[in-house]
Amino acid sequence: MKERKNVYQLPAGDKTLEWYAKAVLEMKKRPTTDPTSWNYQAAMHGFYAPSPFWQGSAPLPSAADQARFWNQCQHGSWYFLPWHRMYLAYFEQIVGATIVALGGPADWALPYWNYSETTPHARDMPPAFVSPAAPTNGLWMAGRASNSIPARYVTLGALNTIPYTGDGRTSPLGFGGPESVFSHGGSPHGQLESLPHDMVHVAIGGAMGDPRTAGLDPIFWLHHANIDRLWQVWLNMGAHRVNPVKKAWLDFKFEFHDKNRPPVVMTSKDVLDTRTVLTGYTYQGVPAGAPVVAHAMAAAKVANVAEGIQLNERVDASTTLDVVAATNKPNVLSSAKTLAHLDLPGAPRTRLMNFAAFTKEALVPSKPAMSILHFEHITGKGVPPIHDVYINTVENDGNKEAHYAGSLSFFGVEESSVANVHQSGSGQHYALDVTALMDSLKSLPNWNAQRLDISIEPSKPMDANTSVTIGRISLYSE
């Protein structure tokens, strides 16, 4: 059983990163046609021939092989977590075998980068990845925009999300993403995927800023090990946090290559317990529980009834939301802030259109109605900067943060803007849960029951060769 360790807690003299660097250089020597090469592994996540990061990668595998194994990464989907877990497991196996071949230890495990820690340098990329800044350093990567992630983009509010699955329209937002088929048209990114996952990608930028090149940066794998770890952390928090139980999720087959190169098949069911994924692994400081599946789901339902929890808070999230307002024209973002507004239907809605309506009055909670702000059909070019979203800000009131709704990363927006074999080109979709914010805004003097002002502000200026258009902004509420 391997232990994936915190990269910032490796003991002095530890050789984990040194061997990783050696293996990266070795894998880079292999031709792109070799499934165990650095290029091939990265291309399984995404490949885009015109990108400068892919210069010199030819000769490439056959078109049939590319169609079958490349560009497989699952984003905006409930397969996001299991697919990346499988991807990392085989990558770790291949790197491990390479290290053994180079005369290294047999127990190499991928470390993780926990940028959400409060320790002083947690948000800085581990130094070994930054210097020496030369191609001889296997961990260094040309073209990164930043080596440090702003604090706001590594927060872990996602862990408070109870359901795994959800789209913010037919159900509350989900931790792991909306139910989807393999190829789909712009479903919202899951909560963990949106923050911190997408944010870290775009904040680092360069190859990391685009799913079609991200796997080329050695830091990608430590970032995703952390996301994979957070999945287990979330499960361990309990209180009805459970994985999907639908067959469509459990049994969907994905293809990879193992260290011996032949194709191998894995399903979500195979990766529910990290201790049984290939030779098994755990994360330092995170107990690996038994797979949380049907039993836990059933138990959670029983618990709901026994505890008298409001019926509308069941784990299967029977609530459907209704659209309250939507913009009438697309918003094109620029380096200045973009202002949009929604026409609200007047007096605040009080009646809950859901299960609660069928229960005795005493059961109807007096908590605020759920409100989700959707950004739909987002298309664009390049790697645009992260944008921060504020609602009903007042000029110079000195309390802007009280109006902060969340951020938009646009990770993968260019790829999502054109149809390909995996998605329809209808653009990206992000959703922010603004329930608490809306509730607090209602008590402010500038609250207007007929109008919501939305300000979308770039975290840094937009490059000339990037663009973003948001097709529709909408507010969904109970």
Partner 1 sequence: MSLTADVNPFSIVTAKLRNLFTKYPEWRTWGLSLLAWAFLLYGLFNMPGEASHAGRSIYCLPGGGASLQAHGANGAAAEGTFAGILKTVFDGLKQWNIMVIAMMFPLLNEPIRHVTFSVRRKDRTRGILGFLLGYVTVWMAVGLLFMLLPLFIDMLVGKQNQLITALIKASGFLLAAALTWQPARLVKMTKCAQTMPIRINAPQLYTDTIMYGLKMGAACFNMCWAPMVALMLAHHNFFLMWEVTLVLLCERYILPHTSRLPGYAWGIIAFALYSIEMWG
Interface residues with partner 1 (CB under 8 A) are 63, 67-68, 169-170, 181-186, 253, 305-306, 308, 311, 318, 320, 322-323, 325-326, 328, 330, 353, 355, 358-360, 362-363, 376-377, 419-426, 471-472, 474
CA dist 112 and 353 (Å) reads 43
Q: How far is the CB of 212 from partner 1 (least distance, A)?
A: 16
- Which of residues 151 and 302 has its CB atom nearest to partner 1 in the complex? 302
- Which of residues 51 and 474 has its CB atom nearest to partner 1 in the complex? 474
Under 8 Å between Cβ of 45 and 214: yes
CA dist 323 and 169 (Å) reads 8
Closest CA to 3 of 224, 225, 269, 200: 225
Determine how β-strand 281-283 pairs with β-strand 2-4: parallel
Closest CA to 371 of 448, 317, 434: 434
Under 8 Å between Cβ of 240 and 303: yes
Question: Would you say how long the chain is, in residues?
Answer: 478
217 Cβ contact partners less than 8 Å away, ≥ 6 residues apart:
141, 144, 204, 206, 207, 208
- Which of residues 25 and 309 has its CB atom nearest to partner 1 in the complex? 309
Radius of gyration of the chain (CA): 23
CA dist 310 and 356 (Å) reads 7
- Which of residues 303 and 394 has its CB atom nearest to partner 1 in the complex? 303
Q: How far is the CB of 170 from partner 1 (least distance, A)?
A: 6
Closest CA to 244 of 317, 312, 310, 183: 317
Q: How far is the CB of 47 from partner 1 (least distance, A)?
A: 15
- Which of residues 40 and 254 has its CB atom nearest to partner 1 in the complex? 254
- Which of residues 9 and 424 has its CB atom nearest to partner 1 in the complex? 424
Q: How far is the CB of 342 from partner 1 (least distance, A)?
A: 10
Q: How far is the CB of 131 from partner 1 (least distance, A)?
A: 43
Q: How far is the CB of 305 from partner 1 (least distance, A)?
A: 5
Under 8 Å between Cβ of 468 and 333: yes
Q: How far is the CB of 328 from partner 1 (least distance, A)?
A: 5
63 Cβ contact partners less than 8 Å away, ≥ 6 residues apart:
none
Q: How far is the CB of 279 from partner 1 (least distance, A)?
A: 28
Q: How far is the CB of 422 from partner 1 (least distance, A)?
A: 7
- Which of residues 14 and 255 has its CB atom nearest to partner 1 in the complex? 255
C-alpha torsion angle, residues 211, 216, 218, 224 (rounded to 10): 20
Under 8 Å between Cβ of 207 and 213: yes
- Which of residues 306 and 464 has its CB atom nearest to partner 1 in the complex? 306
- Which of residues 26 and 415 has its CB atom nearest to partner 1 in the complex? 415
CA dist 265 and 444 (Å) reads 55
- Which of residues 47 and 113 has its CB atom nearest to partner 1 in the complex? 47
Q: How far is the CB of 69 from partner 1 (least distance, A)?
A: 11
Under 8 Å between Cβ of 228 and 46: no
Closest CA to 203 of 190, 191, 189, 217: 217
Positive or negative CA dihedral for 420, 422, 427, 428? negative
2 Cβ contact partners less than 8 Å away, ≥ 6 residues apart:
92, 107, 108, 109, 279, 280, 281, 282
Runs of H (alpha helix) within 257-340: 294-307
Cβ neighbours of 397 (radius 10 Å): 11
Q: How far is the CB of 329 from partner 1 (least distance, A)?
A: 8
Residue written as tokens 């307002």?
325
- Which of residues 59 and 358 has its CB atom nearest to partner 1 in the complex? 358
